[in-house]
Amino acid sequence: MARTLLSADSAASRTLSLTDFINCYESTTRAEAYSKLEFANTYHLAFRDLPEILRARVKGTTALDFGCGTGRSSRFLTGLGFEVVGVDISGEMVAKARALDPQGDYRLIPGDDMSALPRRGFALIQSAFTFDNIPGAETKVHLFCGLRELLEADGILVNIVSTPEIYLNQWASFSTRGFPENIHAGPGDPVKIITTDFEDRSPAVDILWPHESYLETYRAAGLQIVEVRRPLAKGDEPYPWISETRIAPWAIYVLRRSN
């Protein structure tokens, strides 16, 4: 799922609704921009360890990519041998995913309604950056509860999210230099960031949700942590690292049903 573009007024609101969220990133222009993203620069670290994690943790081949955006993360899973269903709430994003990957299974879902997906139907559910964009603890818990019901009994949910530090530093793929107000943000507050891996320099607005908040969210949704990784660059990769060797931009939570 792409990062959310919000108006200045809605970005200032801590009570942003899921309806606002849906409407604000229905953007053909943004879908075109995200369709050009690869697995390079800072994004390399978000996906680098996934093959190892999935080989060790996942027992089946059925996978749901929740918040698939233009299909980059779905195609990644397909390349690892999974049978992937990609879902998103943006018609523009899903249309671009289908155009890029006509053989893929990409579905538009209405808001938080996952009733068309098979209950206990997936050995793996992956969510790459989706929860960076979703406002409100209740909404997050509700969605995680829904995803929990889609997991097989021994299924694994991999949630890749931005760390709070990503909004305070400079990165190979991102800039936060123009947003000093990010330093004062607390859990649930909007934070701004610019992706520099494509030409569109419009700031995106994420919702700050630190580790402690995720712990509470997972507990409330009946999920338990199996593993947490905060990948750092090793320094020998062919990318122009800025902060990545010292500070982890991403957190990878590996989860399973707690009961």
CATH number of the structural domain spanning residue 80: 3.40.50.150
Residue 112 has pLDDT above 50, yes or no: yes
Measure the CA–CA gap between 13 and 28, rounded to whole angstroms.
25
pLDDT of residue 8: 25
Within 13 Å and on the Cβ side, how many CA atoms surround 116?
12
Q: What's the pLDDT band for 26 if we cut at 50, 70, 90?
A: low
The neighbouring-strand residues paired with 189 are: none
Looking at residue 165, the DSSP 8-state letter turns out to be G
In a domain, 169, yes or no: no
In a domain, 207, yes or no: no
Alpha helix locations (H) across 2-88? 8-11, 18-24, 28-34, 41-47, 50-57, 72-79
- Give the mean pLDDT of the chain: 89
In a domain, 182, yes or no: no
Give residue for tokens 């209740």.
138
AA letter at 89: I
Question: How many domains, in total, are found in the chain?
Answer: 1
| Pick from 162, 205, 157, 200: nearest CA to 181 | 205
Assigned token pair, 226: 């199996």
The neighbouring-strand residues paired with 124 are: 63, 156
Q: What percent of the chain has pLDDT over 90?
A: 81
pLDDT of residue 18: 42
Residue 101 has pLDDT above 90, yes or no: yes
In a domain, 31, yes or no: yes
pLDDT of residue 40: 95
Looking at residue 193, the DSSP 8-state letter turns out to be E
Residue 16 has pLDDT above 50, yes or no: no
Contact between 101 and 74 (Cβ < 8 Å) = yes
Segments forming the whole domain that contains residue 152: 8-162+212-257
Q: What's the pLDDT band for 27 if we cut at 50, 70, 90?
A: low
Query: Which has the minimum average pLDDT: 23-27, 182-186, 232-236?
Result: 23-27
pLDDT, mean of residues 154-175: 98
13 or 212, higher pLDDT: 212
In a domain, 173, yes or no: no
pTM: 0.89
Contact between 140 and 119 (Cβ < 8 Å) = no
pLDDT, mean of residues 48-72: 97
Give residue for tokens 């991999």.
158
Q: What's the pLDDT band for 96 if we cut at 50, 70, 90?
A: very high
Residue 123 has pLDDT above 80, yes or no: yes
Residue 19 has pLDDT above 70, yes or no: no
pLDDT of residue 30: 67
In a domain, 192, yes or no: no
In a domain, 187, yes or no: no
Contact between 45 and 232 (Cβ < 8 Å) = yes
Q: What's the pLDDT band for 10 if we cut at 50, 70, 90?
A: very low
In a domain, 151, yes or no: yes
Q: What's the pLDDT band for 33 if we cut at 50, 70, 90?
A: confident
pLDDT of residue 14: 33
